[in-house]
């Protein structure tokens, strides 16, 4: 059903993606290069700051940080931009009857492209850090697909809430900052007790990061229940987002 409607409004969807890209890099000297340069600069700062505190005994610490920063940056960009996808396009859907989730999807496509560019740089760093590439790298498609759907689900929830409560942008900013610190991006959780380590599994972002590290650094495949836990998080969030869009679809017009 959704794919059929996307094909029907394909031209509009493509134009929305193009517009978002042009708007993001408007009047910048480097343009899309910032999609690669920004995560690299963030990685450099984190490596310089945290190596002396957390990375002395961590193998492939640069890749360890890069995994965390790569996943979290994609999540943060996708959900942050998706939150304002409805209010930012109110002038369109209040005049033309189009599926409102198109605007959120266009934001996610833009974030996904940026993530893909950063992922290419990530693999280059893996080569420089003498990471052995195995067939298991193909399994990275699973957390990437799950994260993409998870971002869409969170974006559906946030964009719906933002229509009615503009304060959500400030709360979300604080929440993502807290989320960054509890996602073990620049530190390991090995020194914690088993009970505390299990608490980290309640954080979906940590699950995606952990999956990447298990495949890339440890060259091992996560357990079946780990896969199922990630899938459960995705299903719950996407279902909640779809429910909110379906319930408040007509009310959006009166609040934007």
Task: Give the contacts of 79 (CB within 8 A, at least 6 positions apart).
Answer: 151, 154, 155, 158, 172, 176
Q: What is the pLDDT of residue 165?
A: 87
Count other Cβ atoms within 10 Å, centred on residue 75: 24
Q: Is the pLDDT of residue 21 over 90?
A: no
- The separation between the first and the last C-alpha atoms of the chain, rounded to the nearest angstrom, is 26
E strands, 20-179, in order: none
Q: Is the pLDDT of residue 38 over 80?
A: no
What tokens appear for 20 in the block? 């978002």
96-135 pLDDT per residue, tens: 777 777 888 888 888 898 899 889 888 988 998 889 899 9
56-79 pLDDT per residue, tens: 667 788 889 889 989 999 999 999
Between 25 and 19, the more confident residue is 19
Q: Is the pLDDT of residue 30 over 60?
A: no
* Residues 237, 44: Cα–Cα separation, whole Å: 33
Q: For residue 245, give the H/E element and its range.
A: helix 224-247
What tokens appear for 213 in the block? 């590290």
* Residues 27, 38: Cα–Cα separation, whole Å: 16
User: Considering the entire predicted model, what is its pTM?
Assistant: 0.86
CA distances in angstroms from 186 to 14, 82, 96, 181, 183, listed in the order given: 37, 26, 46, 9, 9
């Amino acid at each position: 059903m959704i794919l059929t409607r996307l094909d029907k409004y394909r031209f509009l969807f493509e134009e929305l993606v193009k517009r978002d890209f042009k708007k993001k890099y408007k009047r910048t000297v480097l343009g899309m290069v910032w999609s690669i340069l920004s995560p690299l600069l963030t990685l450099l700062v984190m490596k310089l700051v945290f190596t002396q505190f957390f990375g002395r005994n961590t193998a492939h610490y640069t890749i360890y940080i890069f995994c965390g920063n790569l996943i979290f940056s994609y999540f943060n960009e996708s959900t942050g931009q998706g939150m304002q996808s409805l209010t930012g396009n109110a002038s369109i859907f209040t005049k033309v009857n189009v599926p409102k989730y198109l605007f959120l999807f266009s934001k996610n496509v833009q974030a996904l492209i940026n993530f893909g560019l950063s992922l290419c740089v990530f693999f280059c760093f893996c080569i420089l850090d003498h990471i052995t590439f195995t067939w298991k790298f193909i399994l990275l498609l699973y957390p990437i697909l799950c994260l993409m759907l998870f971002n869409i689900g969170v974006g559906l929830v946030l964009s719906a809430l933002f229509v009615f409560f503009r304060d959500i942008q400030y709360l979300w900013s604080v929440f993502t900052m807290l989320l960054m610190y509890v996602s073990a991006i620049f530190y390991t959780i090995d020194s914690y007790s088993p009970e505390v380590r299990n608490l980290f599994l309640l954080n979906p972002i940590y699950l995606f990061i952990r999956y990447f590290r298990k495949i890339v650094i440890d060259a091992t495949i996560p357990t079946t229940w780990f896969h199922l836990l990630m899938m459960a998080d995705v299903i719950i969030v996407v279902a909640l987002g779809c429910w909110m869009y379906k319930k408040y679809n007509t009310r959006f017009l009166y609040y934007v």
